[in-house]
């Protein structure tokens, strides 16, 4: 299996390499790819050093799989060039997510829709991934009518510039405006803006939660609203999700559905102060669900608290799991 990691030197790219190693993915030829200024630099994978190659050289090497984490414009330009050679592209940017001709995949939810014809596969937004892992089995059993989502997202989701800003502020420095990923300091702050504002006054991140959830769950009738907040947490997104179902439920049954679902760890024992936290989820690949309780203000209402490592299940792990599915089912 010849595998290219595009964006191998980036924040997610480095985690991608870690996950590939941990999963012992069947790679016979590893190809690290990055921007032209990084070509020739060395990346270590499985204890061996590999030189970074250019995009065109990687295309010409015709990898079986190319996992992209290099931004939307790069993906729009280069993913089709890989696909034309027969390479299956798993893309972590927003470039292809809402393209009706491309699958938006969370393996626990809809990997069974993949075929050999799918040459560009979209990896969903980090906050969407962890949420739909928990929602999918509940939607199947009770039918979701409406979602009210509030996210509390790590600054690592913005990338290396945000990490540098946080570390600088934490050390007591005041970074120059040009060096800031946000309009305001992130250290000891909460910023109610993830990504840019749109004409409807929601941010792009908030609308990703709306549109991507509908696409992954295959249900355009879902009524969804979201507020996304950036917080000074170094790794891990948290979400408060209020669900209104079409059908009644019992809490014990909800717990059982979640406990039996793939990829979920239920951590919910108020008596012993057990609930999911980013600190607990960091460097783990599962989605953690807790604070499971009935919404007593509405019929068939439920509240969940959902936490996952945004660089892992929210990005790298999900992409590698897609690749694993392709290999296991002989789709590549």
Which conformational region is residue 265 in: left (phi greater than 0), alpha (psi within -120 to 50 degrees), or beta?
Answer: beta
**Cα–Cα distance list, 209 to 19, 161, 245, 318 (Å):** 25, 24, 18, 17
For 152, phi then psi, to 5°, come to -130, 95
Q: Is 194 a catalytic residue?
A: no
Token digits for 225? 């609203």
**Cα–Cα distance list, 266 to 134, 241, 257, 262 (Å):** 10, 15, 10, 11
Query: What is the residue whose two structure tokens read 């702050």?
Result: 189
CB atoms within 10 A of CB 111: 19
Q: Is 237 a catalytic residue?
A: yes
- Half-sphere exposure of 139 toward its Cβ, with a 13 Å CA cutoff? 21
Task: Identify the active-site residue in 126, 183, 247, 330.
Answer: 126
**Cα–Cα distance list, 117 to 24, 88, 331 (Å):** 26, 9, 9
Task: Identify the active-site residue in 194, 237, 246, 330.
Answer: 237
Beta sheet of 301-308, edge-to-edge order = 223-231, 144-154, 237-245, 301-308, 287-295, 264-266
SS3 content of the chain, % helix, strand, coil (to 5): 35, 25, 35
- E runs forming strands in 207-316: 223-231, 237-245, 264-266, 287-295, 301-308
Overall residue count recorded for the chain in this entry: 332
Token digits for 217? 């769950």
Alpha carbons 64 and 15: distance in angstroms, whole number: 20
Nearest to 319 by CA among 97, 123, 129: 123
Active site residues: 126, 237
């Amino acid at each position: 299996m010849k595998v290219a990691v595009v964006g191998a030197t980036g924040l997610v790219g480095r985690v991608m390499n870690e996950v590939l190693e941990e999963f012992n993915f069947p790679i016979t030829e590893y190809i690290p790819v990055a921007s032209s200024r990084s070509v020739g630099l060395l990346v270590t994978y499985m204890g061996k050093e590999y030189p970074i190659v250019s995009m065109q050289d990687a295309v010409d090497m015709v990898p079986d799989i190319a996992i992209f984490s290099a931004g939307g414009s790069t993906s729009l330009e280069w993913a089709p060039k890989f696909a034309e050679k027969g390479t299956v592209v798993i893309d972590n940017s927003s470039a292809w997510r809402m393209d009706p001709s491309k699958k938006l995949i969370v393996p626990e939810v809809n990997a069974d829709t993949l075929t050999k014809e799918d040459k560009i596969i979209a990896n969903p937004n980090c906050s969407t991934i962890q949420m739909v892992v928990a929602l999918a089995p509940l939607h199947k059993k009770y039918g979701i009518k409406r979602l009210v989502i509030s996210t509390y997202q790590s600054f690592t989701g913005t990338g290396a510039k945000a990490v540098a800003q946080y570390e600088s502020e934490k050390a007591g420095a005041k970074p120059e405006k040009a060096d800031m990923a946000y309009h305001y300091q992130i250290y000891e702050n909460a910023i109610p803006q993830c990504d840019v504002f749109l004409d409807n006054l929601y941010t792009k991140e908030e609308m990703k939660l709306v549109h991507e959830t509908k696409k992954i769950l295959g249900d355009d009738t879902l009524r969804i609203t979201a507020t996304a907040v950036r917080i000074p947490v170094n790794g891990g997104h948290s979400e408060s999700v209020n669900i209104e179902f079409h059908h009644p439920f019992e809490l014990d049954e909800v717990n059982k559905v979640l406990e039996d679902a793939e990829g979920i760890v239920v951590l919910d024992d108020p008596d012993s102060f057990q609930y999911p936290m980013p600190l607990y989820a960091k460097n783990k690949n599962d989605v953690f669900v807790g604070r499971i309780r009935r919404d007593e203000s509405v019929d068939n209402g439920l509240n969940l608290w959902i936490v996952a490592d945004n660089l892992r299940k929210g990005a790298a792990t999900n992409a590698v799991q897609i690749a694993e599915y392709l290999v296991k089912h002989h789709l590549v």
